[in-house]
Each structure stands twice: as structure tokens, then as C-alpha cells.
């Protein structure tokens, strides 16, 4: 088929037939009998729990499977009429772009301009063509101002855009994205999804997007494909997907859909606008506003963390920058606090300062013993046996508190993601407890990156257990839905200062970006979870 025919969309952007694949030395296949077609210009959302085969399917579509990873493959994968099992990723690069979760390992050049130009250079394009393509893709992604910057000076969101530009610069017909928003704050995440939608509409690029936070992108999708245990369990329009998910796998429901399910409203909405229109059509205007629950101070005289006029300065390469600017904050034992804010707002810096990794330049911070789990739990695991990570009876107490006493002889690498996170927390807690009493503060920095709904529910349970044992649990997170599930208080940071601090229901219902989907649908102060929303709707109906 000629290139012109392909560009006009004569062939499907992606055609997968009877695809089966097993990674080398793997006991069970990662993909089994997968058949799927993505039409040119279609926006397809790939849903499913962790390890359901989403990432492997994307890697098969760009040629990394089997060319880079090896393993055994059967069936057929065609990308813009190229056989992806025969052609390697380099040859497929003209037809398909791929963007993975971690933007750090997706850049190979020093400057942004060189990074974007590299695929064209590898293809042997003429200098004038390369210059124009780089300029156009930079304009399309609104990053011309970044072209002269070095990649190590970019934020996570900027880096993700640069990696996307490098994937798009060859003008592929199909772009594959594997949880691209998992490391982005709500603002940058929403911007990326709508940027994809715009590219999809204006450039006609077909999009296959794997994502756990479905509420963020369902409204942008034309179609949803759900995967389970390496196979496809659902394939259809977003509205039908929600109806299927409420019966087959409620963990895949969006908060707005769950709100409608609980309130007995049909059809389930694919987004905020859809939900509002349905409610308006039903004559549901302004349900009564519930009273905001004020959390009683659990131990009024016993602050676990107290910061007074806290200033922290960090060296960001070229010069010093104030990252925290006069923070005043008191957190007491038993509180569950979500620390939120944009990337670079100072959340991690505050936790690290509390844990003694950074010294304040002014003000003070007093902490009644703290165990901090940083963003990568794997960094804590350095030995090959769980029991070797911890010493004596105190170590065993920490394992017991985290429910890992039966894993003592396991290799940390053989544990599930959730177990590894618990083990890392046990390592941070070991010796900081008196008997089974936890330290004053247990802090978690972005613990839900790449987690599916089921694992997040487990984590909510763990946080509840820790708070019941009288620890103040402070979690830095971008995930507003997760924050609404575990926190009784939200502290919102903006550029190093506290810009909001209050009960979760108040803070997460009072904005747009830092608001849950239910809050955006109902716009009711104090209503952030589907259960609260359903109760408010039931009240109005009465």
C-alpha cells in the first residue's frame, strides 16, 4: 500500500488479530488471543487493573515486544499496514509513537531541540525538513519556549510533553501512551489529556491510551477497551463501558458513574458535562447543602508535627531557590492529612524537612518522631530476604504491624507492589515504635503512582489502621479521588506557602483542579465522594 493511501487512512491505524505473547522465562502468557482494531483518527482508552496486559499490548503495537523484550509471540500485529512482528521499533517509528510512564528514561539528549530532532535525524531527513518538523511539533504542543532548555531543567509535565513531541515529530498515524499522567499533578494531567484530544481532532492521530484514572480521560475517548488477565473483556463506547463496569468490575467505575449508580440514575455519565446535563434534564437543580463535618481534634494538646514560619532553600542547579516560604502548620496524632498542590509546590520538601533530610534556613519544625516513605519504595529494599532487612524483635514488630510476618523468608523482588510498599514502610518504622505504638508521624510521598483502584483501596485501609494506632498520617498526593477516600484534612500548597487548609469535604469541593469529579458534577460545598453525593441527591428527591 502506498504511503499516500496509508496517510489518507485506508488501513486501520492498528490491527491486532489472535495475539498471544509470553515474556521470556514467564510461567503464564501476558497476552492471550487478543484481537483489536483501531481506526485512523480514533481515540481509544485502554482500561484494566494492574498486570492485565495493557502495557504489553502497547509494547507489541510499537514493536518493543518481541523485538526488544524477546519472548514467544503468535498472531498478527499490523500498524498502518506494516507488520509489527517483522518490522522493528525503529522502522515502525514513522507510523507509531510510544510514550511510557516515566518521562525520565524517555529522553536521551541534553537539549529539548536535539531530543525532538533525533528521530528525524536517525531517519536521514534533510536539515530543512527537520527544522520545520521540530518547529511545528513544538508549536502544536505549546513548547517552543522550551526548545533551548536542557532536559534536566524541566518539570515532570514539561518532560512528558517533550517526550510526546519526540514521539509525534515523525507524524505517526498512531500514538500509544502508557499511563502518561501518573506522575503529573491534576493540572498537568488534564492539560495532557486535552492536548491529546486536540491532536486527535486536528492532526487525525489515532490514540491508544492506557490509564488507571479513567475519570480523567473517559470523556475524551471514542471507545473503551477493557483488559483482564491478558485478554479483552470489553470493547465498546464509553457509556456502555460504564454500564458493563458497574456489574462486571466496579473498581473500573468512575466516581461520577458510581454517584449515578448509587442514586439510581440512568444513563451513567462519561464525564462531568454529561452528568450535569443528565441532572438538569431530570430537574435536579441544587440539592440541599450538607453540613461540613468538622473533625474533632483527636489530641488537642499533642501536636505530632509543628512548623512555625518554616523557610527551606534548595539548590536547583544554577542558583538557590526558596521552596518553602514561611510555612505555619500543626498536625496532631490520629489525623489523616492529604498534602496537595502542583508539581514543585513544596510537598516533598516539607516531608523531607520534617524527616531531617533538609535543614530549614529560617523558622523551625518540631516532629515527634517520623517515618517517611519516599516516592520509590524500591529504594528501601537492598537485601535478598525480607527478614534480612530488619533487626531483632523491634524489626519483627514492624513487620507484624504491616501484616508481613508470614513473608519473612521471601525475596523482596517476589512480593507484589502493595507488599513491597508495606515492607518499605516497615523498614522506615522499625525501631521508631514503642512496643506496637507508632511514631508521631507516618508520612507517605506520592504512594499511588501507577496503582490501580484495588491497590488504592488497600492503601486507604492501611492508612486508616495507622491513624487508629494514633499516628498522624501525612500523604503527599496528586490524586484527588484518593485524597477524598482517606483524608480528613487537606493542606493545599502553592509555590511554597499554605494556600488552603481544612476538612477534606471543604477543600476538595471548593475548586476546579483540586476537586473530585463528584464535586465538579454537583458543585455542592462539602460533597466530594459518590456516597455523599448520592445522599445529597436522595435528600433532594425526598
Among 171, 325, 432, 449, binds another protein (CB under 8 A): 432
The verdict on 114 binding another protein (CB under 8 A) reads yes
Q: Which is nearer to another protein, 50 or 109 (CB)?
A: 109
Q: Which is nearer to another protein, 149 or 308 (CB)?
A: 149
Q: Which helix (H) or strand (E) holds 532?
A: helix 530-541
Angle formed by the axes of helices 156-168 and 112-123, to 10°? 20
CA dihedral 202, 206, 210, 211 (to 10 degrees): 20
189 backbone dihedrals φ, ψ, rounded to 5°: -65, -50
Q: Which helix (H) or strand (E) holds 386?
A: none
Q: Which is nearer to another protein, 119 or 180 (CB)?
A: 119
Q: Which three cell numbers stand for residue 24?
A: 521470556
Q: Which is nearer to another protein, 35 or 369 (CB)?
A: 369
Q: Which is nearer to another protein, 28 or 413 (CB)?
A: 413
Question: CB of 83: closest distance to another protein in angstroms?
Answer: 17
Question: CB of 522: closest distance to another protein in angstroms?
Answer: 40
Site for another protein in 63-82 (CB under 8 A): 64, 67-68
Among 93, 138, 327, 438, binds another protein (CB under 8 A): 93
Question: CB of 168: closest distance to another protein in angstroms?
Answer: 12
The verdict on 139 binding another protein (CB under 8 A) reads no
Number of residues that bind another protein (CB under 8 A): 75
Whether the Cβ atoms of residue 56 and residue 67 lie closer than 8 Å to each other? no
Among 428, 476, 528, 534, binds another protein (CB under 8 A): 428
Q: Which three cell numbers stand for residue 33?
A: 488471543
Among 91, 306, 313, 495, binds another protein (CB under 8 A): 91
Question: SS3 string of 252-277?
Answer: HCCHHHHHHHHHCCCCCCCCHHHHHH
Q: Which is nearer to another protein, 259 or 442 (CB)?
A: 442
Among 52, 55, 374, 509, binds another protein (CB under 8 A): 374
Site for another protein in 140-179 (CB under 8 A): 148-150, 152-153, 166-167
Among 52, 55, 106, 278, binds another protein (CB under 8 A): 106
Question: SS3 string of 345-372?
Answer: CCHHHHHHHHCCCCCCCEEEEEECCEEE
Laid out side by side, the sheet with 489-494 consists of 370-373, 441-445, 472-476, 336-341, 489-494, 497-503
The verdict on 392 binding another protein (CB under 8 A) reads yes
CA distance 163 to 140: 13
Task: List the one residue out of 444, 516, 439 whose CA is nearest residue 476.
Answer: 444
Task: List the one residue out of 466, 465, 468, 388 whose CA is nearest residue 432.
Answer: 466
Among 105, 266, 291, 301, binds another protein (CB under 8 A): 105
Question: CB of 118: closest distance to another protein in angstroms?
Answer: 5
Among 4, 24, 28, 126, binds another protein (CB under 8 A): 126
CA distance 536 to 526: 10
Q: What is the pairing mode between strands 43-48 and 223-228?
A: parallel
User: Of 123-131, 188-196, 261-269, 276-284, which segment contacts another protein by CB under 8 A?
Assistant: 123-131
Site for another protein in 23-62 (CB under 8 A): 62
The verdict on 122 binding another protein (CB under 8 A) reads yes
The verdict on 98 binding another protein (CB under 8 A) reads yes
Amino acid at each position: 500500500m502506498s504511503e499516500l493511501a496509508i496517510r489518507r487512512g485506508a488501513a486501520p491505524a492498528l490491527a491486532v488479530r489472535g495475539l498471544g505473547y509470553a515474556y521470556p522465562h514467564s510461567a503464564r502468557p501476558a497476552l492471550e488471543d487478543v484481537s483489536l482494531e483501531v481506526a485512523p483518527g480514533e481515540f481509544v482508552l485502554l482500561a484494566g487493573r494492574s498486570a492485565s496486559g495493557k502495557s504489553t499490548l502497547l509494547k507489541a503495537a510499537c514493536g518493543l515486544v518481541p523485538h526488544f523484550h524477546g519472548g514467544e509471540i503468535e498472531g498478527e500485529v499490523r500498524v498502518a499496514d506494516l507488520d509489527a512482528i517483522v518490522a522493528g521499533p525503529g522502522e515502525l517509528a514513522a507510523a507509531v509513537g510510544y510514550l511510557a510512564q516515566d518521562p525520565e528514561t524517555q529522553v536521551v539528549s541534553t537539549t529539548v531541540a536535539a531530543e525532538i530532532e533525533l528521530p528525524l535525524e536517525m531517519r536521514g531527513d534533510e536539515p530543512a525538513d527537520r527544522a520545520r518538523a521540530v518547529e511545528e511539533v513544538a508549536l502544536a504542543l505549546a513548547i517552543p519556549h522550551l526548545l533551548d532548555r536542557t532536559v534536566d531543567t524541566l518539570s515532570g509535565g514539561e518532560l512528558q510533553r517533550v517526550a510526546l513531541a519526540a514521539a509525534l515529530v515523525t507524524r505517526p498515524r498512531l500514538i500509544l501512551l502508557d499511563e502518561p499522567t501518573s506522575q503529573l499533578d491534576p493540572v498537568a494531567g488534564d492539560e495532557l489529556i486535552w492536548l491529546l484530544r486536540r491532536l486527535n481532532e486536528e492532526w487525525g492521530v489515532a490514540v491508544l491510551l492506557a490509564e488507571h484514572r479513567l475519570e480523567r480521560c473517559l470523556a475524551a475517548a471514542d471507545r473503551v477497551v477493557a483488559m483482564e488477565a491478558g485478554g479483552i473483556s470489553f470493547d465498546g463506547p464509553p457509556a456502555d463501558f460504564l454500564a458493563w463496569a458497574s456489574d462486571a468490575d466496579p473498581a473500573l467505575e468512575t466516581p461520577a458513574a458510581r454517584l449515578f449508580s448509587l442514586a439510581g440514575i440512568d444513563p451513567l455519565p462519561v464525564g462531568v458535562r454529561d452528568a450535569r446535563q443528565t441532572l438538569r434534564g431530570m430537574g435536579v437543580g441544587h440539592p440541599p447543602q450538607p453540613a461540613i463535618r468538622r473533625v474533632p481534634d483527636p489530641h488537642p494538646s499533642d501536636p505530632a508535627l509543628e512548623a512555625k514560619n518554616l523557610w527551606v532553600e534548595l539548590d536547583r542547579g544554577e542558583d538557590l531557590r526558596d521552596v518553602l516560604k514561611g510555612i505555619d502548620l500543626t498536625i496532631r496524632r490520629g489525623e489523616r492529612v492529604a498534602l496537595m498542590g502542583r508539581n514543585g509546590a513544596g510537598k516533598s520538601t516539607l516531608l523531607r524537612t520534617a524527616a531531617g533530610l533538609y535543614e530549614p534556613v529560617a523558622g523551625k519544625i518540631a516532629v515527634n518522631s517520623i517515618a517517611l516513605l519516599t516516592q520509590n519504595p524500591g529504594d528501601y529494599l537492598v537485601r535478598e530476604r525480607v527478614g534480612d532487612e530488619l533487626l531483632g524483635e523491634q524489626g519483627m514488630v514492624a513487620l507484624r504491624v504491616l501484616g508481613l510476618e508470614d513473608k519473612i523468608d521471601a525475596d523482596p523482588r517476589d512480593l507484589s507492589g502493595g507488599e513491597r510498599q508495606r515492607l518499605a514502610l516497615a523498614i522506615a518504622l522499625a525501631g521508631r515504635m514503642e512496643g506496637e505504638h507508632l511514631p508521631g508521624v507516618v508520612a507517605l510521598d506520592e504512594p499511588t503512582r501507577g496503582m490501580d483502584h484495588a491497590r488504592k483501596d488497600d492503601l486507604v485501609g492501611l492508612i486508616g489502621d495507622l491513624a487508629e494506632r494514633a499516628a498522624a498520617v501525612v500523604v503527599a498526593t496528586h490524586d484527588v479521588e484518593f485524597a477524598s477516600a482517606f483524608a480528613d484534612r487537606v493542606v493545599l500548597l502553592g509555590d511554597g506557602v499554605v494556600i488552603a487548609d481544612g476538612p477534606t469535604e471543604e477543600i476538595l469541593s471548593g475548586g476546579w483542579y483540586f476537586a473530585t469529579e463528584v464535586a465538579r458534577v454537583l458543585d455542592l460545598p462539602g460533597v466530594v465522594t459518590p456516597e455523599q453525593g448520592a445522599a445529597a441527591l436522595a435528600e433532594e428527591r425526598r
